[in-house]
Structure 1
Amino acid sequence: MRLLIADDHALILDMLQNFLEQEKDMEIVAANDMQDAISAVSAQPGFDLALLDYDMPGMDKLDGLRRFMENNSAPPVVILSGHAARDVAQRAVSMGARGFLPKSMPAQSLLHAIRFMALGEKYVPVDFLFSSDQADASPAPDGPSATALTARELDVLKALCDGKTNKEIARDLGLREPTIKLHVKTLYRRLGASNRTQAVMIARSWGIY
């Protein structure tokens, strides 16, 4: 997996690069600003993902995202930010970004999210979307809720309730089995479940399946 990471904060860039390069299947190319990022994808096409810092020079808020994606060699884009509000994440995804990653994410969660998006799925942390400290956030739900899940996650949850295996779910939804495994792991975390039985019990307690 080839990743482009663009961030003008040298310490964060080095930390991300060093952490991700511990994965044997990951190759990282670093850039310091938007122009470097555009030059990198033009000179070395074939990246699986590009992680772009929302605040780096040349980004110009989300105008830089638009300019980056206009490049014919541009890979799917993920926005990184340490402080951007929820509406920034929502606008980025609506413009075509593959996802949004707060820099405050735990390292392993960030790694799982990157692999998830590299498989073609969109990702924004649900706890970020419903966080009460976001300036424009609506009140957080009282405990887990079906409204906090994506349509795809609800499809997977229904399949779990039907007793289907990951292979059967992948076949029914037209997805790869590794993608389903990531969906199931994400469902466990969002529901506060540790296994399929607990996930099914929670779904049935909502009365949706």
Structure 2
Amino acid sequence: MIVLIADDHALFRYGISLALEGLYGKDVTILQASSAEETRRIAQEAKGLDLILLDLMMPGLNGISDLKKFIDTLPPVPVVIVSGSRQRSTIRSAIECGARGYVLKSSNGEILKHVLPLVLSGELYVPAQAVANEEAAEGYEGSPLDEAGDFNPDFKSLTPRETQVLKLLTLGYSNKEIARSLGMLEGTVKVHVKSIMKKLGVNNRTQAAIAANRSFTRQSPVNM
């Protein structure tokens, strides 16, 4: 797999490179660019390029306003935005401009092992807040279990613990982060996630998050 990391911060490119190498080892070849012009040139010259991880703000690319025009100049390879912006409008606009995914810079590097297979198989990946209720989807502060706002998945088959796990899953938390937040073993979280997906009739974490966010509510909060 050949991945182009496009970001004007060398330290960030280095961090993503380490994450990819940790996940894929010798099976991944990493290319790097620090500007829009360099990104375009490398993307056009690289043979067998599979994916571009693109920052929204760097020399030659001024956020969403330039994104669609820029993506149109690239070869037909999936582009995943990696950005610090959590705004629902930004996330949705990025997808509308042609991005195949959107990853928050605050996410754990392990999230890439869920995102990349989805995108490379032709699916879209967006953080859960992009499909959540407008008020719950905007910026959030506080403890992890408060981040999703008032949460009521209304899935009677879920246990209280599974509901807690699902709530953090919708925020893009990895199994390790969920385990740390809830004081559980990572293996136990994996069992809960598998059970949640089975009960919701979905095939992956993204589908589970989307299903859950359809039931966000401001009237019936779940007591954690």
Partner of 1:119: 121
Provide closer, same or farther for how the CA distance between residues 42 and 194 of structure 1 changes in structure 2, counting only shifts above 3 A: same
Amino acid at match of 2:5: I
**Equivalent residue pairs, number:** 164
* Residue aligned with 1:3, SS: strand
Change beyond 3 A, Cα 1:117–1:68? same
User: Which residue in 1 is equivalent to 2:101?
Assistant: 99
Q: Which residue matches 1:134? A: 138
RMSD of aligned alpha carbons: 3.5
Q: Secondary structure at the match of 1:105?
A: coil
1:8 maps to: 8
- The alignment's TM-score, normalised by the length of structure 2, stands at 0.61
1:18 aligned onto 2:18: yes
CA distance in 2, matches of 1:145, 1:68: 42
* 1:50–1:76 contact (8 Å) kept in structure 2: yes
SS at structure 2 position matched to 1:21: helix
1:109 to 108, 111, 116: 111
Q: For structure 2, which runs of at least 5 residues remain unmatched after alignment?
A: 141-147, 156-165, 171-188, 202-211, 213-224
Of 20, 30, 33, the residue aligned with 2:32 is 30
Higher relative contact order (CA 8 A, sep 6+): 2
Q: Secondary structure at the match of 2:57?
A: coil
1:94 CA displacement: 1.4
Gaps of 5+ in 1: 147-185
Per-residue deviation, 1:65: 2.3
What amino acid sits opposite 1:15 in the alignment?
Answer: G
Query: Which position in structure 1 is the counterpart of 2:85?
Result: 83
Matched residue of 1:50: which SS? Answer: strand
User: Quick one: percent identity of the two aligned structures?
Assistant: 29
Answer yes or no: is the 8 Å Cα contact 2:86–2:139 preserved in 1.
no
Judging changes above 3 Å, is the alpha-carbon distance between structure 1 residues 11 and 69 closer, same or farther for their aligned structure 2 residues? same
Cα gap change, 1:32 to 1:145, in 2 (>3 Å): farther
CA contact (8 A) 1:2 1:27 kept: yes
1:122-201 residue pairs with structure 2 within 5 A?
Answer: 122-127=124-129, 129-130=131-132, 132=136, 134-135=138-139, 140=149, 142-144=151-153, 189-190=169-170, 194=192, 197-201=195-199
Kindly state the Cα deviation for residue 110 of structure 1 after the two structures are TM-superposed.
Answer: 2.5
Question: What code does the residue aligned with 1:194 have?
Answer: H
